[in-house]
Amino acid sequence: MEDELVARLAGRSKCDRRKRGWTVTIGKDIRFDVENGGSGGGGGVGRADGAASPSAVLLLQNLPQRRESFLYRSDSDFEVSPKSMSRHSSIASESHGEDLIVTPFAQILASLRSVRNNFLSLTNLPTNKSRRSSGTGSTTPQPRIFTPGDEAYMKLSLETMEELDWCLDQLETIQTHRSVSDMASLKFKRMLNKELSHFSESSKSGNQISEYICSTFLDKQQELDLAAMEERSPQRPTAARVPGGRVVPMSHISGVKRTLTHANSLTGDALPKYGVQTPHEPQLGQMLLDIDRWGVDIFRIGDLSMNKPLTVIAYASFQSRDLLKTFMIPAKTFITFMLTVEEHYVKDNPFHNSTHAADVTQSTHVLLNTPALEGVFTPLETMAALFAATIHDVDHPGLTNQFLVNTSSELALMYNDESVLENHHLAVAFKLLQNEGCDIFLNLNKKQRQTLRKMAIDMVLSTDMSKHMSLLADLKTMVETKKVAGSGVLLLDNYTDRIQVLENLVHCADLSNPTKPLPLYQRWVALLMEEFFQQGDKEREANMDISPMCDRHSATVEKSQVGFIDYIVHPLWETWADLVHPDAQDILDMLEENRDWYQSMIPPSPPSSEQKDDEGDDSKGERTHEDIRFQVTLEEGEGDESSTM
């Protein structure tokens, strides 16, 4: 019997081990479902200095949660979930109910905990001798005792060896210079690539939407194909100077204005009640009663505030949190700074203007009020998040980062093509703080000022949409790791963990339009598409390739929103809802309702390009289905798993 066991253990191949999925039992009747991991590879309110309070924790609730995004589909088989091939092991935790674990590092931890408890059962070691029996936030269940040589003993031994082999397979793929969350990012990119492959095959518009998602929300590692570059005949310039583009000295921060229209608007001692002079003060005050509510009509606030919604929202948010008093910020200084920032948002931009900044700021304010986050962040961290939201798109030109890179813009040259706009927004904002009467952080001590600047930089840089998948993977890995550990508590006792939550909070606020009431969402969509189309017009005029979703003659708005929600917005908000459960369930409900509405409005798809081979290009600057190729670039050694379309 023992010889047979040894033979069966030795006969297991790595191929068999890598293609399995399982269900891991937690405690008595509680389980984590672990999908195939794939080889892929506030502190206390009293602290105003930004340091984390030792008592600050975020409890992960033991409540039923929805798992509907593509992240919970099989990584190894697009059609069949590996959960159908589940098996049982036991590990210790009584803090969480049935849940799904998809991040590789959390899967490894779950597997190792299963191995540990199997070992206790196989060896009959007393659990009270274990060094992990205390201080881990979980309890070790009493193991079942097996008799060496019987069938149950052999079965558990085989399962334990499989667990160890799988863990080794995963650990062998980890690169020493990568974080564990990169394992999740790589896995999610691979899964998204599969999803986009299927989506793009549905129609010509599906291919364009897939290319838009890939080029906007994935931070791809570009590799130069020198041979292809030599053979390719130049059809259109990949970089061109846009007519009317301004050239400024490299040492000068462009966009900072010298004269401001509000310079003399704050004379005398009396300050406007809501930060701006308006004949609609009573109506504006009534609207601001809903500042803590998700989905407030920010466009109406803009109308009532004489097109100064950002100043009004920021002033109300800071006042409601008593931040002006806490950090000794004179109200006049704060209003002057906010009016200056608002003046530096480009009014002619259909989407990236001060109304969008006000919307993101108000959404950030509401998310910071989430009951699950109560008492988690310090006043300084809260102020940094609100400040980051107000400035996150200041002096946005209404063009994408990729456009600025493709046209060799001065900003792209200054910031070496890396998060070009986000770096510019930060530079402009901190430069404006140096204006006379604008330094709202004047009374912060040196440590507070340095901490706030670092946090604001990190949060604004996280609004670079190409960082989306990394942000999502970081947050999901952190949450699932704590769940597998069994404690159900996020201590958030270091800067990395705390800023990670805040970065995702601001990122969620920046991608919150699809979660708002449908009339507001529809208006935001129309404004964003018009901004895209204006960029496409510039690209057509410059004889450049028109960016995905920027051609006003071929873009399919309704289908693009469905893809945007399915592959970007829903996975993000699903993860955030997991973190603060059950506080964000209403937001998820609204998101799914809006998605269903846009799905119902998708017009019939036009014939595919294969059915129209006798026709030429529909318009100048438009590429056919066969010409469009995109690829999610993975790490070294993963190229064979990337789909090219």
Annotated binding residue at 611?
no
Q: Which ranges in 371-419 belong to alpha helices (H)?
A: 379-391, 401-406, 410-414
Annotated binding residue at 356?
yes
User: How high is the pLDDT of residue 121?
Assistant: 77
User: How high is the pLDDT of residue 620?
Assistant: 44
Q: Is residue 294 part of a domain?
A: no
User: How high is the pLDDT of residue 182?
Assistant: 76
Annotated binding residue at 88?
no
Annotated binding residue at 353?
yes
Q: Tokens 């469009």 appear where?
A: 628
618-631: pLDDT as tens digits: 444 444 444 434 44
User: How high is the pLDDT of residue 501?
Assistant: 97
Residue 96 reports pLDDT greater than 70: no
- What is the DSSP secondary structure assignment for residue 353, as one 8-state letter? S
Residue 88 reports pLDDT greater than 90: no
Annotated binding residue at 462?
no
User: How high is the pLDDT of residue 63?
Assistant: 53
Secondary structure class of 527 (helix, strand, coil): helix
**Amino acid letter at 173?**
T
Taking Cα atoms as reference points, which of 466, 386, 451, 383 lies closest to residue 419? 466
Taking Cα atoms as reference points, which of 387, 388, 370, 368 lies closest to residue 378? 368
Q: Tokens 């299963």 appear where?
A: 114
Q: Is residue 547 part of a domain?
A: no
47 falls in which pLDDT band (50, 70, 90)? Answer: low
98 falls in which pLDDT band (50, 70, 90)? Answer: very low
Among 90-99, 183-192, 212-221, 423-432, the least confident range: 90-99
How high does pLDDT run on average in the chain? 77
CB 591 within 8 A of CB 570: yes
**Amino acid letter at 584?**
A
Q: Is residue 165 part of a domain?
A: yes
Q: Is residue 133 part of a domain?
A: yes
User: How high is the pLDDT of residue 109?
Assistant: 78
Residue 556 reports pLDDT greater than 60: yes
406-451: pLDDT as tens digits: 999 999 999 999 999 999 999 999 999 999 999 999 999 999 999 9
What average pLDDT does the segment 220-246 reach?
A: 47
Backbone dihedral angles phi then psi of residue 565, each to the nearest 5 degrees: -70, -50
Among 70-79, 136-145, 509-518, 625-634, the least confident range: 625-634
Residue 331 reports pLDDT greater than 50: yes
Q: How far apart, in Å, are the Cα atoms of 397 and each of 250, 359, 534?
A: 18, 18, 11
Q: How far apart, in Å, are the Cα atoms of 14 and each of 50, 81, 117, 165, 322?
A: 48, 20, 23, 8, 59
User: How high is the pLDDT of residue 468?
Assistant: 94
What average pLDDT does the segment 208-220 reach?
A: 81
User: How high is the pLDDT of residue 257?
Assistant: 72
Residue 54 reports pLDDT greater than 50: no
Q: Tokens 């691979």 appear where?
A: 190
The domain of 110 spans 2-38+75-172
Residue 324 reports pLDDT greater than 90: yes
Annotated binding residue at 392?
yes
User: How high is the pLDDT of residue 154?
Assistant: 84
Provide, rounded to the nearest whole percent, the portion of the chain with pLDDT above 70. Answer: 67
**Amino acid letter at 183?**
M
Among 202-216, 394-408, 526-540, 560-574, the least confident range: 202-216
Could you give the residue numbers annotated as active site? 352
Residue 136 reports pLDDT greater than 90: no
User: How high is the pLDDT of residue 499?
Assistant: 97
Residue 105 reports pLDDT greater than 50: yes
Provide, rounded to the nearest whole percent, the portion of the chain with pLDDT above 90. Answer: 47
Taking Cα atoms as reference points, which of 475, 438, 451 lies closest to residue 379? 451
191 falls in which pLDDT band (50, 70, 90)? Answer: confident
Q: Tokens 């999908």 appear where?
A: 35
Q: 255: left (phi > 0), else alpha (psi -120 to 50), else beta?
A: left
Higher pLDDT, 54 or 413: 413
Residue 314 reports pLDDT greater than 60: yes
- Report the domain count for the chain: 1
Q: Is residue 362 part of a domain?
A: no
560 falls in which pLDDT band (50, 70, 90)? Answer: very high
Which pair of structure tokens corresponds to residue 51? Answer: 């340091």
Residues 448, 454, 460: CA angle, nearest 5 degrees: 130
Q: Which ranges in 129-253 belong to alpha helices (H)?
A: 151-172, 180-200, 204-217, 226-231
| d(C-alpha 124, C-alpha 408), whole Å | 68
pTM exceeding the 0.85 threshold for the entire prediction: no
3-state helix, strand, coil in the chain (%, to 5): 50, 5, 45
Query: Which element (helix H / strand E) includes 22?
Result: strand 22-26
CB 335 within 8 A of CB 273: no
CB 388 within 8 A of CB 459: yes
Q: Is residue 118 part of a domain?
A: yes
2 falls in which pLDDT band (50, 70, 90)? Answer: low
Residue 30 reports pLDDT greater than 70: no
Higher pLDDT, 175 or 531: 531
607 falls in which pLDDT band (50, 70, 90)? Answer: low
CB 514 within 8 A of CB 562: no
Q: How many CA atoms lie within 13 A of 560 on its CB side?
A: 22
Annotated binding residue at 500?
no
CB 480 within 8 A of CB 65: no
Q: Is residue 104 part of a domain?
A: yes
Q: Is residue 144 part of a domain?
A: yes
Secondary structure class of 372 (helix, strand, coil): helix
116 falls in which pLDDT band (50, 70, 90)? Answer: confident
> What is the maximum alpha-carbon separation in the chain?
94
